Structures are given as structure tokens and as C-alpha cells.
Amino acid sequence: MTNTITPLRWYAVLAVVFFGILPATMVTTLVARGTTPGEGWLLVIGGIPLVICAVILLFRAWGTTDDPELADRLYRRCMAFVAGADVLMLGGNALLRMTS
């Protein structure tokens, strides 16, 4: 029997790093420099807590090695939070730039 959680673990880590932490850092840097038009800081206020929740869920899923179903749910929820943060920050930034 193969462990189905191992690939999901790697995908969740990659999603948090490349689609959560890096875009959050990029948008925060843009807002701090003042190059984001309009209300760009609202995107950071909404997106950073989603990334933090994703990181917390990732660490909780790492800790649940006994129950693979719980780990599966936590990894999937983690990636959903990352996707939401990505849409909010990067999509919102793109919409702000298109409308200004």
C-alpha cells in the first residue's frame, strides 16, 4: 500500500512557499514602496491572514501522522487558503492597476 499523503505534503509545501509567501512578500513590498495604485494596502490586510492560516494548517497537518484522513483534509484546506490569498492579493492588484 502506498502512502497517498506524501505527494500532497510536497504540493502543500510548494503551494505555501511559491503561491503564498512569495506573492505576499511581493505585494507587501509594492504597497510599502507606494507603487500600488489606490487602496492596495487593503489587499495585504486581507491576504496576509489567509497565508498565515495556510501556514498554521500546514504545520498542523505535519503533526497528524496518525490519521491520514485528517492530514488530507488539513492539506487541502491549506491549499484552499493559499489559493484564496493568491486570488485576493494578485488578482486584486491586477484589477487595481487596470482601473487606474
**Tens digits of residue pLDDT in 23-46:** 999 999 999 998 888 788 999 999
Domain ranges, residue 87: 16-99
Domain count for the chain:
1
Asked if the model's pLDDT at residue 1 lies above 70, the reply is no
- For residue 29, the Cα-to-chain-centroid distance in whole angstroms is 17
Q: What is the pTM of this model?
A: 0.89
Asked if the model's pLDDT at residue 79 lies above 70, the reply is yes
Residue 40 lies in a domain: yes
- Entry field: residues in the chain: 100
DSSP string, 42-87: HHHHHHHHHHHHHHHHHHHHHH--S-HHHHHHHHHHHHHHHHHHHI
Asked if the model's pLDDT at residue 63 lies above 90, the reply is no
Residue 6 lies in a domain: no
Asked if the model's pLDDT at residue 58 lies above 70, the reply is yes
